[in-house]
Amino acid sequence: MRADRLVAALLLMQARGRVTAAELAAELEVSVATARRDLEALSAAGVPVYPQAGRGGGWSLLGGARTDLSGLTANEAQALFLLAGPAAAAPEVKSALRKLLRALPSTFRADAEAAAGAVVVDPAGWGEHDRDRPELVSVLQRATVRRRKVSLVYEGRSRERTRRLVDPWGLVDKDDVWYLVAGTDRGQRTFRVDRIAEAAVTEVPFERPEGFELSRAWGEVVEEMERRRSFVSATVLVAERYVPVLRARFGRNTEVVGTDADGRVRLRVAAPMALTIAEQLAGWGSTVEVVEPEEVRAELARIGSELVARYRA
């Protein structure tokens, strides 16, 4: 579109100071005549650009005028390039970053360029290949952006398949598992993408609920799931230096509730079953003391007895 070319021409002059019609044509992949007409159109529209003839000439912004089309602060620009940089292998992202970089004031540009190459994300574990993003994610993403309803065939935990018409509100990648947060005739629902057998994007539009924010909605989903997974809690005593290790084991189901007279930290940990807690703590031996409940203590005693019986010799 011509409007895109005019903006690109303006940004290029802003970045380089002066461009020729031939340079602009090569950059925008148009003819020299088209590039020259675009430059003349900018001037006719009142944009302060002017040509300079002769060797070393070209088109420039009058008096070094600048047009900051981004409206970003220095910190905002750096944060954006830090976030987008790891994804810059995608051609679309590279193109977007290049255009935005041209729009930034020169005082921001160097830091933004450095930020784009400051972080690399390698999603593959050691000894593993890169995992490709499921094709369905791209299909659902397009439907989300276009705000079109999607007809899903979904496989539940019982392996029974059902067809549903949903409003795709957003996608979440949690630990390499993708989830679709969607509106249904029963309200908000969350679907695992790897359980979606089929997905057909319709031409029926939808509107997101007023005030909907995906991050907040997903936070509520996580809180509810963690609550369901934490039916049993136990109080344990452990030296302070081991608290981070237990936090890593039990995640957000770990809460510091106090410190005992001997200096050990009193923690409350939770899991779906008493056996699950006991299995997580059995390898700690006497390093961790379970105060309560009795059912967790009993499971630990049973595990200990079985180990002693098997390995006594």
Strand 177-184 to strand 161-174: parallel, antiparallel, or no bridges (unpaired)?
Answer: antiparallel
Cα torsion 158, 159, 160, 163: sign? positive
Q: Which residues pair with 184 in a beta bridge?
A: 187
Q: Do 86 and 119 touch, CB atoms closer than 8 A?
A: yes
Across 90-102, b (16+ Cβ under 10 Å) vs e yields eeeeeeebebbbb
Question: Helix, strand, or coil here: 277?
Answer: helix
H/E stretch holding 264: none
> What are the CA-CA distances from residue 38 to residues 19, 55, 270 (Å)?
13, 21, 66
Q: Apex CA 214: angle with CA 211 and CA 216, to 5°? A: 80
H/E stretch holding 57: none
User: Which letter does DSSP use for residue 209 in this model?
Assistant: P
Q: Kindly report the CATH number that applies to the domain delimited by 135-210.
A: 2.30.30.520
Q: Kindly report the CATH number that applies to the domain delimited by 230-311.
A: 3.30.70
Q: Kindly report the CATH number that applies to the domain delimited by 2-64.
A: 1.10.10.10
Cα 18 from Cα 56, distance rounded (Å)? 9
The token pair that represents 49 in the structure block: 């650009």
Cα 164 from Cα 185, distance rounded (Å)? 9
| Burial degree of 128 (CB within 10 A; 0-12, 13-18, 19+) | exposed
The token pair that represents 232 in the structure block: 């049993």
* pLDDT for residue 205: 94
> What are the CA-CA distances from residue 225 to residues 156, 190, 230, 235, 256 (Å)?
16, 11, 9, 22, 21
From first to last of the 313 residues of the chain, give the pLDDT tens digit.
Answer: 456 677 777 777 777 778 888 888 888 888 888 888 888 877 776 667 777 776 767 887 765 555 555 555 666 666 666 666 655 556 666 676 777 676 666 666 677 767 666 666 666 667 776 666 778 888 998 899 889 999 999 998 778 899 999 999 999 888 778 899 999 998 999 999 999 999 999 999 999 888 888 888 888 888 888 777 667 889 999 999 999 999 888 888 898 999 998 999 999 998 888 898 999 999 999 899 999 999 999 999 999 999 998 888 6
Question: Helix, strand, or coil here: 286?
Answer: helix
* pLDDT for residue 153: 94
User: Which letter does DSSP use for residue 112 in this model?
Assistant: H
pTM of the model: 0.53
